[in-house]
Amino acid sequence: MTERLIKCPHCGTTNRLPPPVPGRKPVCGKCKTPLPDGGGPAVVTDNTFSAEVEMSPTPVLLDLWAEWCGPCHMLAPTIDQLSSEMAGRVKVAKLNIDENPGVANRFGVRSIPTLLVLKAGKEVDRLIGVQPKQEIVRRLEKVLAG
């Protein structure tokens, strides 16, 4: 059994979470605010982009990828790690550009993998190609600090 540490987006308290239990939503032990479950990246579509990304109270790391893209698959484990490690601070999401060309066109994505860092739906940073985890974290921390 692996426990996870999740920082509360409301009060900042670090919470130790047991493995997920179906039907049970984790809440902060101090302020009782619902916690992000850290269950992997959110899947975003053209239809859910507004609700999932533009309305997100935290910055969003959006991975634009495609099933046929080898480098996208190389980056996937890093994206999965970041979704749990940065839960509560950054929302991590994935968008398949073949199934959802609208968002990719809106942001002028010409190659994949492309990672967009968005605040309130507005692009604040972009990383193209497979990037080391440390570089992605560095760029996210810069956005969180500013």
Model confidence pLDDT, tens digit, residues 71-129: 999 999 999 899 888 888 999 999 999 999 999 999 999 999 999 999 988 999 999 99
For residue 39, what are the contacts with CB-CB under 8 A and spacing of at least 6? 20, 83, 84
Query: pLDDT-based confidence at 26, cuts 50/70/90?
Result: confident
Residues 134 and 64 in one domain: yes
Average pLDDT over residues 25-45: 81
Residues 126 and 78 in one domain: yes
- State residue 1's pLDDT score: 38
Expressed as residue numbers, the domain containing 58 is 38-145
Residues 74 and 130 in one domain: yes
Rounded to whole angstroms, the Cα distance separating 4 from 19 reads: 8
Rounded to whole angstroms, the Cα distance separating 64 from 112 reads: 7
Residues 77 and 120 in one domain: yes
Residues 10 and 58 in one domain: no
Active site residues: 69, 72
Residues 79 and 119 in one domain: yes
Rounded to whole angstroms, the Cα distance separating 82 from 91 reads: 9
The amino acid that residue 65 corresponds to is: W
* pLDDT tens-digit readout, 58-75: 999 999 999 999 999 999
